[in-house]
Structure 1
Amino acid sequence: MVAQNKNKWVKSSYSESLNCLEFFVENGANVLVRDSKNPDGHRLSVSRGAWREFVAFTRAELARRG
């Protein structure tokens, strides 16, 4: 597992509790996603394009639900 600078992990702006995701934009073309409750656990790596699509979909769903 590659060590990451903990200051670069970003918590969701919609997070209102400890149950949230954090993400880290790598220097390459990927975004790492982890569970904030388990920062040393498994991480999901997705392309920046996939991350942008996920964020856009989530924002649209939140707006639709009011």
Structure 2
Amino acid sequence: MAAVVVQRKWHTTAEVADMLGFGLSKTKMLVLSGAIRSVKVGRDRRILPVWVDEYVQAVVTDAEGLAA
């Protein structure tokens, strides 16, 4: 019997803060400002992994633009 690995579909703000190495307050600010996309599910915010990747890519692109 093959093992089934369930991958998470989305992350909490705290999980994203941990992934990015940011504090929870900074991450919440990024989410509320729209820098990191999110959806509200009940009282909680959820963030798709691709949205975290989009944020990281935007930061890299901005940094490369400043270096040029």
Same fold (TM over 0.5): no
Task: Identify the structure with bigger relative contact order (alpha carbons < 8 Å, sequence gap 6+).
Answer: 2
More helix as a share of residues? 2
User: TM-score, normalising length from structure 1?
Assistant: 0.38
User: TM-score, normalising length from structure 2?
Assistant: 0.38
More strand as a share of residues? 1
